[in-house]
Structure 1
Amino acid sequence: MSSYFEGIDKIKFEGENSENPLAFRYYDKNRVVLGKTMEEHLRFAVCYWHTFCWNGFDPFGYDGTFQRPWHKISNPMEAAMAKADVAFDFFSKLGAPFYCFHDRDVAPEGATPRESVENFKRMVDVLAKKQEETGIKLLWGTANMFSHRRFMSGASTNPDPEIFAMAALQVKEAMDATKKLGGANYVMWGGREGYETLINTNMKSELEQMGRFLTMAVEYKHKIGLSGPILIEPKPREPSKHQYDFDTATVYGFLKKYGLEKDVKVNIEANHATLSGHTFEHEIETAFAHDIFGSIDMNRGDYQCGWDTDQFPNNIPDTALAMYYILQGGGFTTGGVNFDAKVRRQSTDPVDLFHGHIGGMDVSARALLIAEAMIKDGRHAKAVADRYAGWKQEFGQQVLGGKLSLDQVAQRVLDRNTDVLPQSGRQEYLENLLNRFC
């Protein structure tokens, strides 16, 4: 294993009163919550890209600030090997059971497509060995079809079918790798599946291309026997001005159009939810309502920035609501909590990577406990059930069951000839009640 985190021991649970910054105060992986352990509920994963690939650059700081040792290795494959050593040392010491990656996170692009494939296959063998040695598992794999200049106009939505084919190669190889590594899911992250201006865009063609690409991916998943679902990650903007996968509802409409709603689910990111004008819990509940909930990328944005800052979560009430609706919906099956989050570019010490993840894991664990208390208490659920109780009664059931026509429903009002008074939604009471649990 790498010596990069030398001096840092395996992170342990020490309880709420601990003053140790390198210990969990709430995440006790063996604690049972509503019949399952915290580890089984949360299924934590560390993302490869922000944690080990990002060098701390921003649009005004091209050189980066982290200067990790593997960033300085000139041979790309040697750098990839060193990065893998550090990554699995980190996973093991943190105690996260899963990780996630893009193909280009773990292996460098080659001079030719064949060289790129060979580089990736070599590194997949390395990852497989490290998984066997450590017991760390793959939550999901995906392909980076947004960083290279060839994808500046999209991948599956590109005007050039030859670039569409380049994207298909990457997805095929990434799906093969995910299967080999026992990945629980495969993610389609459409970072540039959108457009900047309609002046040079054929939207109908691009949507047809995207639908065909996803259909091909689903067919290939079944062909190779990849057991977990394909997930789409909704993203409203950045880098593309108009993303075709804007939010969960938009993705569901797209899946319905191409008959893919049974095979594809969503991986919802908190920061993407807020950028689309929604709350995290709204996107989660929308996914459950349409039966396409898969997994989440846990992070947060910055309220003063209109872009994807990918910070570690620290808002207890917001995270508690997300956990509440996940538990109400039945919890994770193949998905989990992936930290698509990065330390700030001023946080340059190796230990800062632990501080970020420990904080995120503790916030999520504390939120899980709050969600458990809310469910056991039952007042929030009862308030909702009472508010919609009429739809469980005879008249409401007749309407939903298609037994009454529009004119029959209208006639009911005339027959009763009595005004109906609205009932309070009790929003302030329920918000106050939420805060009592937090």
Structure 2
Amino acid sequence: MTTDFFAGIEPVRYAGPDSTDPLTFRYYDKDRMVAGRRMEDHLRFSIAYWHSFTWPGTDPFGGETLLRPWMSGADPMTLARQKADVAFRMFELLDAPYFAFHDRDVAPEGESLSGSIANLNAIADIFEAKMETAKVRLLWGTSNLFSHRRFMSGAATNPDPEVFSYACGLVKAALDVTHRLGGENYVCWGGREGYETLLNTNIGQELDQLGCFLSMLVDYKHKIGFAGPILIEPKPKEPTKHQYDFDVATVYGFLQRYDLLGDVKVNIEQNHAVLAGHSFDHEVRLAYATDIFGSIDINRGDDLLGWDTDQFGMNVPEITLLMHEILKHGGFKTGGLNFDAKIRRQSIDPADPLIAHVASMDACARGLLAAEKMLEDRALEGPLADRYAGWKTPEAKAILAGERSLEQVAEAALSLDPQPRSGRQEYLEGVLNRYV
């Protein structure tokens, strides 16, 4: 039976650092107080419906390896209901506070747009009933505007206005369901909003289309009373050569141009940051610096592969820097740590997806605890403040406030003889290693 997929597996519990059982938490103690909040309330873990229950284990050179009973062999809606049963059982076993979904991952495509929307709402009815007695809540929903062949040239940026309109219909339905289920955010993931060649692309036209699309979505969000932010997930490439949400800086400029900064934030993923030529830490810091930080997909890529491998986040130093920034800015508001990650195609046992989540949840908990201690000790904040201390003087503040002209600043410089100071990079790298 599909509902017995996790038969014999007990709910995961905290067992402490000495545990060697891969189905126990060693560091994630949900009720432990960290920087004034319960650990669970800081980390806000979310299980991604698509990679956990929909990805069949394919890659460009091979077919399905994850032969799950709800993936084939019956009416698609029957399979979708079975998948929902398995999903909510996994949420229960992991004691997960949140989950997230794409419309097409929870419900199959219909014969028409109306049929697809009806399928989505039918599964949403099941979710709503299950959530009445379950702990899990919805972190965010989204619409799949990239898998079907109609979106081969994009959705909002498609040269065909009929495809644009079809995408509007799907997004409206997905936001309606997200709102109905109490979702805290809505994500726009533009998997194919980009180009493969400039020979057939009008960049200005497509940017205006994307700006129009998001503006309509923001207007509708307010109309129905959806309180959470719209999130854009930056990604530079793959499968296309270039995407319009290349990185955090690109998204910020786009939002500024189309007057969307008040309603739209970013959902940042490590692998996308690396593909854009940045570090994860860079993208998070820039999002905070530009006030568009929203949420995190806590997965990673393979440094030896130049594409999106969606592996579980296990890099404790990298996660520590992430949590250091989030704690420094007061923690998540509506976002969380969403496991947009999939087990490897060779990890075929029913316990493998649970073990992967447990290991990554522990890595995040370790990073959170290290970040808390670093902030208490001002291990990084102290040296950083010292480096920029000169800008706290009255004269430097006056310069930044625009109270001095270029001539005045240049005149004052005639009596100066500034000397360089060490950036202390190796020292700071050693400091980080002491905490992790």
Shorter-normalised TM range: over 0.9
Shift of 1:73: 2.9
Aligned match for 1:429, one of 423, 427, 430: 427
Q: Say if 2:3 and 2:85, in contact at 8 Å, map to a contact too.
A: yes
Amino acid at match of 1:389: A
SS in 1 for 2:208: helix
SS in 2 for 1:435: helix
- Structure 1: which 5+ residue stretches go unaligned? none
Deviations 1:261-313 (A, max 9, x none): 01100000111111111111111110100111110000111011000000011
2:207 corresponds in structure 1 to: 207
2:190 corresponds in structure 1 to: 190
Aligned match for 1:419, one of 404, 408, 417: 417
2:7 corresponds in structure 1 to: 6
Amino acid at match of 1:436: R
Shift of 1:330: 1.8
1:25 corresponds in structure 2 to: 26
Alignment of 1:34-433 (within 5 A): 34-62=35-63, 64-414=64-414, 416=415, 418-433=416-431
SS in 2 for 1:41: helix
Q: Say if 2:301 and 2:309, in contact at 8 Å, map to a contact too.
A: yes
Shift of 1:114: 1.1
Q: Say if 2:98 and 2:139, in contact at 8 Å, map to a contact too.
A: yes
Amino acid at match of 1:326: I
Deviations 1:150-192 (A, max 9, x none): 0000000000000000100010000000000000000010111
Deviations 1:228-282 (A, max 9, x none): 1100000011111111000001000000000100110000011111111111111
Distance 2:241 2:91 in 1: 35
Amino acid at match of 2:336: G
Shift of 1:331: 1.2
Q: Say if 2:141 and 2:174, in contact at 8 Å, map to a contact too.
A: yes
Which is further off, 397-406 or 1-10? 1-10
Shift of 1:131: 1.2
SS in 2 for 1:296: strand
Aligned length: 435
Amino acid at match of 1:14: A
Amino acid at match of 1:263: D
Which is further off, 313-322 or 161-170? 313-322
Q: Say if 2:113 and 2:170, in contact at 8 Å, map to a contact too.
A: no
Distance 2:269 2:303 in 1: 16
Deviations 1:367-424 (A, max 9, x none): 000000100111310100011111111111011111001111111112x1x3210111
SS in 2 for 1:294: strand
1:16 corresponds in structure 2 to: 17
Distance 2:132 2:25 in 1: 26
Shift of 1:72: 2.0
Distance 2:323 2:270 in 1: 12
Runs of 4+ in 1 over 2 A off after TM superposition: none
Distance 1:114 1:375 in 2: 52
Shift of 1:125: 0.6
SS in 1 for 2:278: coil
Distance 2:396 2:192 in 1: 45
Deviations 1:43-65 (A, max 9, x none): 00000000000011111112x00
Amino acid at match of 1:148: H
CA RMSD of aligned residues (A): 0.8
Deviations 1:74-105 (A, max 9, x none): 31000100000000000011111100000001
- Structure 2: which 5+ residue stretches go unaligned? none
Distance 2:330 2:424 in 1: 26
Q: Say if 2:22 and 2:359, in contact at 8 Å, map to a contact too.
A: no
Q: Percent sequence identity over matched residues?
A: 58
Q: Say if 2:300 and 2:312, in contact at 8 Å, map to a contact too.
A: yes
SS in 1 for 2:300: coil
Deviations 1:95-131 (A, max 9, x none): 1110000000100001111111111111111111111
Distance 2:36 2:349 in 1: 39
Amino acid at match of 1:154: G
Distance 1:106 1:71 in 2: 12
Which is further off, 418-427 or 171-180? 418-427
**TM-score w.r.t. length of structure 1:** 0.98
Amino acid at match of 1:421: Q
Amino acid at match of 2:210: M
Deviations 1:319-349 (A, max 9, x none): 1111111111221010000011000000001
Distance 1:244 1:19 in 2: 45
Shift of 1:135: 2.1
Distance 2:111 2:121 in 1: 15
SS in 2 for 1:69: coil
Which is further off, 270-279 or 343-352? 270-279
